[in-house]
Structure 1
Amino acid sequence: MKILQVSADLPDFRTVSFRDGFNIVIADRTQQSAETDSRNGLGKSSLVEIINYCLGANLSKGQTLHRLKDTKEWTFKLAVDLEGGRVEVSRSLAYSSEVVLDGITTQRIEGRLDTGGRLHVRIAEWKRYLGTIAFGISDSEDSYAPSFRSLFSFFARSGRGAFVSPFQTVTQQRAWNVQVNNAFLLGLNWRLASKWQALKDDDAVLKTLVDQSPRAIRRYRGSLGELETERVRLAVEVEDLRSAISEFRVLPHYYDLQRRLDVTTGQIKEAMAEVTLSQNLIDLYSQRLLEEGEVDVAAVTSLYEEVGVVLPELIRRSVDEVATFHRQISQNRRAYLEAEIVRLSSAITTRNAELDQLEAARQEALNLLKTGGALDDLTGLQARFAEMSGQLESLNARADELRKLEAGKENLKIERQQLKQQALTDYYERRPEWSEVIESFGRITQALYGEPGDLVIDVTNTGYSFDVRLERGASHGVGNMGIYAYDLALAHVWAKKPLSPQVLIHDSAIFEGVDERQVSQALQLAASESVRRGFQYIALINSDNLPLGELRRHGFDIEDFLAIRLTDDTPSGCLFGTRF
């Protein structure tokens, strides 16, 4: 596939034709142009946009065509060499869902023929066909497969985001896309890169499952043993509740029995209090009996005599009478105490008998309550059983889920190691293919800088990794030449394949900040290599980046390869023939 011509249905559009081998498009600021004029509006970069657009690319924000699509109904045409024949591809800004092919003869593409014999092809079908003839790829069921557009972007980089890295063609390109496309272009097994991304997806799913799991799962993450311990404990509790329910007996008069038990318990407490009081009184009365004695008249008389008082006979008789009186009182008191002791003892005996009866009644009620209960007690037990059973079921599910998560993590580790081993084996088996790109890269960088740079292809735990190392690699210009060398090395290798894009396009961004000697070397190298190896090279460059002195010194006349010169002196010098 080679680019032959770019045109449009605009009356003033400047048709651009390309030859085999080396082509150059120059954006030139003339002496007549004002300082406010800019070569950015000449249409140099738009030329790459048009080529990509006709080859199935979507329009991206920031592109000129994207700004025009809602206001213009222009149709762009791209003449290409497809399978040895010239085919004109037309695609409208207003109706971008299809291309119209004129001159197509192959039966390998499906479409709708109009009355003029032109084939109308849906964009998806058009890209499928281009992928088949340019890269030998077909539709793949793999979610992470290379496509025509993702691969061709390395041969026709468009926009400044395409010149950030040799291995990226858009800013913030997904890691899987970088791995799969570069693996394919370098001759590695791109399906292994796809599998790496599938493992990353599985890992992301596992992390999502953990994050979305109930708090118990997150709490026991990494501690399956603790979760199992809680599950065993909960299972025992559920079994105890099940046994309690199976042995439970509903008592019809449960609450009457409970009230009767309460009354009996109160009566027992009251009787016991009375027994205690009676016993205390008996003890007190018994002590009083021990303290009660006869009145000693002789002792009283002796006391008076000791103090020298001689009692008259009258007083002696009175003492005798008092003693007699006190003896009578003492006898009466003793009789009373003895009678009270007898009475209290009898009362204690009676109360103790009542206590025995009350305790028997209380024990009977307690035994009944132990073997059964009220209906709502059973309902409560059943509710608790249902609750705990639900918790156990949930815990069982969480334990199973955690076990699967843990098993999934371990399986992913094993699969990563197996995949890495498989990739390493495949890496060495395919050495002849990828080493050719490395050799070409080294020769190209040596021609540019006098010493070869390194294109590093490695296999890591997360997939293929790619890197370029050049002297003074931190320089922006040197970094751009790393992209140039990588693209040219790919073009070298792919030009030899029976199915190849056979074209390499570099926008002016790749030459910005590059030393004029390296620009001169890059242009001369692209010119010689494209002719020698049979592919087409198209360079778009600003005139002030052209090292004319260096080129003339080597006898290289840029005018021999000029496809078009865009100028900013008048609108007619622009690609579109107008300013907008």
Structure 2
Amino acid sequence: MKLNRIYANKNFKPVKFNPGFNVVLAKVSKKLDRNKDSHNLGKSTLISVIDFLLLKKITKKESIFLKYDHFKEHVFFLEIELNSGFYLTIRRSVADHNRIAFKRSLSSQNFQDELFWDYTDIPLSRAKKILDDSLQFDVLVNWDYRKSLTYFLRSQRDYHDVFRLNKFLKGKDAEWKPLIFELLGFNGNALKERYAYYEQKQNIDNLVISINKELSFRSGEADRIRGVIQLRKDEYQELQAQVDEFNFYNSDRKYNEELVNRIEEEVTKLNQEEYEITYQIKKIEDSLEKKLTFDLDSVNKIFKEVSILLPDMLVRKYEELVEFNKSITKERSKYLIDQLNNFKTRLKEVRLKLTELNTRRSSILSVLSSEDSFYKFKQYQIGLSRLEGEISRLEEQLKNLKNIDVLSSKSVVLSDKVHEKEKEVQAQLDESPSRYTDIRKYFNSTFKSIFSVPALIFIKMNNVGNVEFEAEVSKRNELEVTAEGQGFTYEKLLCICFDIAILIAYSSNSFFKFVYHDGALEGLDNRKRLNYLETVQQYCKEFNIQYIFSAIEEDIPSQILDGLNKEEICVELDDTGDHGKLFEFSF
């Protein structure tokens, strides 16, 4: 698929693309304000117009130039040349951007005034499906065409990483790594399934952790819970019988035993723990308030004296000791703060438990000291309800423990599947398919033609089984791009070379046949610009690909500029007035 032309119903310079080499040319005459003017002509905005016409979804939060009121009456048209040889025109208005129209034709035509369209007022989601079907790609057949589109519409914000586009920065690896893996010539299903199994396993493991937090028993203690349930049921039946007979002697004895043997003993222990924790908190808080003193002048004086007496034995400089002291102080404070937070958390737990025990003690004492049988009857009925609640809670915990066992078994199975898929991915890497070999070859040759040093694409698996995509220069120290200001230029050219390599490797397939690079020449010296453009011109002819780049006239080497024909300048912009801008007005 190639781009053929873009036009609009108003205020827009028509863009007619050449099938091969194309430049979006910006002429800047105001030299003193060169940078400002060059970035207001619309050469970088054109890539957004193409993206819009290739059915980019426009969200309310998204910042896009089309949201300006100036564009509310604009209707844009994009004509593309399909790999079948037919042409397809896409119509999309700004005001009703979720309704799309399509018109198919045997030859290139302007349909601005067309009344009869093949499809009209098509919702965006269905329109994407229609366009996807029309493209008939035989590459990445299981992926939406828009998923890979941005590799062939590189704006300035997509030059920071060769493989991870700006739109993937906030997403999960599973959303883009299987795509790149498949684009590089591998079977992406294995990696996609690996991520799917891994996510399922993570969800199960998180659920197990969540359930465990609610349990008072550990995994493997199911029989212990069954035993406690039986004890509580026996206690319930005994208490129920006494309530039925209105005989509270045995219950009073049990309350007495609970009060003396359990509650009082536990309250005593917790009171002691509360005192110890409070004491430790006070010590830590006092310690944190005291800052370590370090007499710099005195130490400096001592060091100078030692330096005179023992110059050969003096290892550490004075500044190193100061930094060492700061480091110790920082580590000590961090440790104390962590300890303080732990003590405060435990103190809350202890005090909450003491409140519960004291409430229970008061309730028992109230029952034991009462001579009113009906009051005792009421209290023992409350006791029955408490036992019922405890039995239900224990039975629920037993159920959860069983669920944990089932979930843990599933997690083990999923873990095995994850490892199995990782082995499949590694096996593919070991085989290195021919498409991958070709992509690496074209990537290296393109980069080497510009910088005269080889570049390499490679894939590795990290310690958790995820794939990592890397692009690097074999002899980076020989590049003239190591200065801080040239780092972005270096990364940008790696991105550009990758896109071109993909385009060439799939030039015989039904896939994207074009690539658009915004500001490709910025930051390069003239010799490298010449190498770069001559290489691209050769590729366009040899592999029948369409290359589009935007540039300021001054950035294009004279050897290339002078040799350009009119068809290769797809649109010409200038700063002489609004009429020279892409939209023929300022906004």
Query: What TM-score results when the alignment is normalised by the length of structure 1?
Result: 0.68
Deviation at 1:130, TM superposition (A): 3.3
Match of 2:101 in 1: 100
Partners of 2:503 and 2:545 within 8 A in 1: yes
Q: Identify the match of residue 186 of structure 1 among 184, 187, 194.
A: 184
Cα shift readout 1:480-501 (whole Å, capped 9, x = no counterpart): 110011000000012111x111
Match of 2:125 in 1: 124
Cα shift readout 1:30-76 (whole Å, capped 9, x = no counterpart): 14886695121211122211212111112476765333368521011
Match of 1:505 in 2: 516
Measured in 2, the distance between the counterparts of 1:454 and 1:209 equals 42
Match of 1:302 in 2: none
The alignment status of 1:85 with 2:107, answered yes or no, reads no
Q: How many residues align?
A: 441
Q: CA RMSD for the aligned pairs? A: 3.4
The alignment status of 1:536 with 2:546, answered yes or no, reads yes
Cα shift readout 1:461-497 (whole Å, capped 9, x = no counterpart): 4433211002257622111110011000000012111
Cα shift readout 1:92-120 (whole Å, capped 9, x = no counterpart): 101111222233479xxxxxxx9624431
Partners of 1:571 and 1:577 within 8 A in 2: yes
Secondary structure at 2:78 match in 1: strand
The alignment status of 1:422 with 2:402, answered yes or no, reads no
Q: Identify the match of residue 196 of structure 2 among 185, 195, 198.
A: 198
Provide closer, same or farther for how the CA distance between residues 528 and 63 of structure 1 changes in structure 2, counting only shifts above 3 A. farther
Deviation at 1:26, TM superposition (A): 1.3
Deviation at 1:409, TM superposition (A): 3.5
Alignment-mate amino acid for residue 161 of structure 1: R
Measured in 1, the distance between the counterparts of 2:553 and 2:211 equals 62
Secondary structure at 1:80 match in 2: strand
The alignment status of 1:548 with 2:558, answered yes or no, reads yes
The structure with more radius of gyration? 1
Measured in 1, the distance between the counterparts of 2:154 and 2:507 equals 18
Measured in 2, the distance between the counterparts of 1:252 and 1:117 equals 90
Deviation at 1:533, TM superposition (A): 0.3
Greater alpha carbon shift after TM alignment, 414-423 vs 184-193: 184-193
Alignment-mate amino acid for residue 480 of structure 1: K
Alignment-mate amino acid for residue 184 of structure 2: L
Alignment-mate amino acid for residue 486 of structure 1: F
Deviation at 1:147, TM superposition (A): 1.4
Match of 2:164 in 1: 168
Measured in 2, the distance between the counterparts of 1:427 and 1:494 equals 20
Secondary structure at 1:103 match in 2: strand
Cα shift readout 1:525-558 (whole Å, capped 9, x = no counterpart): 1111011101111111123432336x47xx8557
Q: Identify the match of residue 234 of structure 2 among 240, 243, 247.
A: 240
Secondary structure at 1:193 match in 2: helix
Partners of 1:128 and 1:148 within 8 A in 2: no
Partners of 1:32 and 1:569 within 8 A in 2: no
Alignment-mate amino acid for residue 468 of structure 1: A
Deviation at 1:235, TM superposition (A): 2.9
Match of 1:149 in 2: 146
Q: Which has the higher contact order (CA 8 A, sep 6+)?
A: 2
Aligned positions of 1:16-95 closer than 5 A: 16-31=15-30, 38-59=37-58, 65-68=65-68, 72-82=72-82, 83-95=84-96
Deviation at 1:387, TM superposition (A): 2.9
Measured in 2, the distance between the counterparts of 1:69 and 1:183 equals 42
Measured in 2, the distance between the counterparts of 1:412 and 1:9 equals 56
Measured in 2, the distance between the counterparts of 1:184 and 1:97 equals 31
Alignment-mate amino acid for residue 155 of structure 1: F
Secondary structure at 2:460 match in 1: strand
Measured in 2, the distance between the counterparts of 1:100 and 1:252 equals 85
Secondary structure at 2:154 match in 1: coil
Match of 1:490 in 2: 502
Q: Which runs of 5+ in 2 are unaligned?
A: 108-113, 253-375
Deviation at 1:153, TM superposition (A): 1.2
Provide closer, same or farther for how the CA distance between residues 24 and 87 of structure 1 changes in structure 2, counting only shifts above 3 A. same
Match of 1:403 in 2: 405
Measured in 2, the distance between the counterparts of 1:386 and 1:139 equals 60
Secondary structure at 1:213 match in 2: helix
Provide closer, same or farther for how the CA distance between residues 512 and 378 of structure 1 changes in structure 2, counting only shifts above 3 A. same
Deviation at 1:14, TM superposition (A): 1.6
Match of 2:266 in 1: none
Match of 1:228 in 2: 222
Provide closer, same or farther for how the CA distance between residues 578 and 208 of structure 1 changes in structure 2, counting only shifts above 3 A. same
Alignment-mate amino acid for residue 97 of structure 2: S
Measured in 1, the distance between the counterparts of 2:72 and 2:382 equals 77
Secondary structure at 1:44 match in 2: coil
Partners of 1:234 and 1:388 within 8 A in 2: no
Deviation at 1:412, TM superposition (A): 3.2
Measured in 1, the distance between the counterparts of 2:241 and 2:128 equals 76
Alignment-mate amino acid for residue 148 of structure 1: Y
Cα shift readout 1:302-326 (whole Å, capped 9, x = no counterpart): xxxxxxxxxxxxxxxxxxxxxxxxx
Measured in 2, the distance between the counterparts of 1:436 and 1:247 equals 86
Provide closer, same or farther for how the CA distance between residues 9 and 384 of structure 1 changes in structure 2, counting only shifts above 3 A. closer
Provide closer, same or farther for how the CA distance between residues 134 and 103 of structure 1 changes in structure 2, counting only shifts above 3 A. closer
Provide closer, same or farther for how the CA distance between residues 384 and 152 of structure 1 changes in structure 2, counting only shifts above 3 A. closer
Provide closer, same or farther for how the CA distance between residues 578 and 241 of structure 1 changes in structure 2, counting only shifts above 3 A. same
Q: Identify the match of residue 451 of structure 1 among 450, 453, 456.
A: 453
Greater alpha carbon shift after TM alignment, 232-241 vs 442-451: 232-241
Q: Identify the match of residue 441 of structure 1 among 422, 430, 443.
A: 443
Alignment-mate amino acid for residue 228 of structure 2: L
Measured in 2, the distance between the counterparts of 1:33 and 1:9 equals 35
Cα shift readout 1:333-368 (whole Å, capped 9, x = no counterpart): xxxxxxxxxxxxxxxxxxxxxxxxxxxxxxxxxxxx
Deviation at 1:89, TM superposition (A): 2.0
Cα shift readout 1:211-235 (whole Å, capped 9, x = no counterpart): 6436334x76xx523x436514413
Alignment-mate amino acid for residue 176 of structure 1: A
Partners of 2:87 and 2:106 within 8 A in 1: no
Measured in 2, the distance between the counterparts of 1:404 and 1:436 equals 47
Partners of 1:133 and 1:500 within 8 A in 2: no
Measured in 2, the distance between the counterparts of 1:543 and 1:153 equals 25
Measured in 2, the distance between the counterparts of 1:187 and 1:123 equals 31
Alignment-mate amino acid for residue 482 of structure 1: L
Measured in 1, the distance between the counterparts of 2:421 and 2:236 equals 51
Provide closer, same or farther for how the CA distance between residues 490 and 180 of structure 1 changes in structure 2, counting only shifts above 3 A. same
